[in-house]
Amino acid sequence: MTSTTHPVYAVIGSGYMGGGIAQMLALSGADVRIADVDLSVAESNLARIITEAEQFVEDGLFPEDAPAIIASRTSAATIEDAVAGATFIEEAVPEKIEIKHATLRRICDAAPADAIIGSNTSTILIGKLAEAVTNPARFLGVHFSNPAPFIPGVELIPHAGTDSAAVTAVEEILAATGKQTARIKDATGFVLNRLQYALFHEATQLVEEGVATAEDIDTVVRTTFGFRLPFFGPFAIADMAGLDVYAFCYASLQTEFPERFATPKILDDLVSQGKLGTKSGAGFLDVPAERTAELVAYRNRAYVAMQKLIAELGPAPIANRGADD
């Protein structure tokens, strides 16, 4: 009779982000220990994530056996007990560098010397956090988005001293959970929040200038370029639109906002080289011109499918509805 062993992971910080990460890791086949400021908090949050899993089953979001799997593979512990023997540890404590530093020191004091340590920080430089880590070559940013079980993308952010083997190991761990990872250089805000806050900043400018209400801006984003984003990133969208078109639009925006919308040098360079996107067979992503018809057909199917999904789900319960709705 052979025994089955599961990898042992720890999640330090068992709130909604940490709890969601723990659910996902347990469902991927790992034994997961969660810890928090004290054992009672971790125990309370363990009960919560099992109850949440039951609700997710009821809502059709988790498989029927998910609560039992999570309950059998997840346990609450002190920080020291949680990290003892763990091969991967994810720190998910509040976004304050002093709290993260103190937590990382506790982790390093009790964890195996070769355990990979990730931080779920959304904005703090990984190099700064690494100052509190013993053997910082095994440390990197592993940035999930909320809700962790359902958002597929994860940013992986090595600092200057991170061993590439640690990044590869985390990619394999997350692939087992079904996540999609992107390697990001250690820069303030990383990629997700640089882009997210740039959009939010321009949106607030439009409200303050009286161009549109918050509600109407949300409608524009959801139903136009935001509608494309589940399928294509900004560079693919630009390539399909035509980089020469983008250059013309920048020139138009500059009549009112010369500094805010200065044409990016990388765009100018591509246009000057005749690399205009899919129509020329070269752009940011270099999609061959002969694949344009296939790409357009995929795009159109994707957008129709998205519209059907939105119609099936109905509107998000945000706006106030009248008594007759």
Hey, where are the domains in the chain?
Answer: 8-183, 224-313
- Token pair, residue 44, equals 């309370």
Beta strands (DSSP E) in the chain are 8-12, 31-35, 74-76, 88-91, 116-119, 139-143, 153-158, 180-183
Burial 202-214 (b: 16+ CB within 10 A, else e): ebeeeeeeeeeee
Hey, how many other C-beta atoms are within 10 angstroms of the C-beta on 119? Answer: 26
Burial 233-258 (b: 16+ CB within 10 A, else e): eeebbbbbbbbbebbeebeeeeeeee
- Measure the CA angle with vertex 13, ends 133 and 157; round to 5°: 50
What contacts 24+ positions apart, CB below 8 Å, involve 39-43? 39/76, 39/77, 39/78, 41/14, 42/14, 42/76, 42/77, 42/78, 42/82, 43/76
Name the one residue in this structure whose structure tokens are 């059907």: 308
Question: Which architecture, in CATH terms, is 224-313?
Answer: Orthogonal Bundle (1.10)
Name the one residue in this structure whose structure tokens are 């999930």: 144
Per CATH, which fold does 8-183 belong to?
Answer: Rossmann fold (3.40.50)
**With contact defined as beta carbons under 8 Å apart, do 131 and 124 qualify?**
no
DSSP label at 275? -
At 242 the three-state DSSP class reads coil
Please tell me the pTM assigned to this model: 0.92
Hey, how many other C-beta atoms are within 10 angstroms of the C-beta on 157? Answer: 25
Q: Note the pLDDT of residue 5.
A: 83
Using CA atoms, how far residue 141 sits from 164, 169, 207, in Å, is 13, 13, 34
- Token pair, residue 97, equals 């560098």
**With contact defined as beta carbons under 8 Å apart, do 89 and 8 qualify?**
no
Name the one residue in this structure whose structure tokens are 């509040």: 94
| Residue (of 138, 146, 168, 47) closest to 92 by Cα position | 146
**pLDDT tens, per residue, the chain with 325 residues:** 333 589 999 999 999 999 999 999 999 999 999 999 999 999 999 999 999 999 999 999 999 999 999 999 999 999 999 999 999 999 999 999 999 999 999 999 999 999 999 999 999 999 999 999 999 999 999 999 999 999 999 999 999 999 999 999 999 999 999 999 999 999 999 999 999 999 999 999 999 999 999 999 999 999 999 999 999 999 999 999 999 999 999 999 999 999 999 999 999 999 999 999 998 889 999 888 788 889 999 999 999 999 999 999 999 998 655 444 4
User: How buried is residue 121: exposed, middle or buried, by Cβ count under 10 Å (0-12/13-18/19+)?
Assistant: buried
CA dist 252 and 23 (Å) reads 49
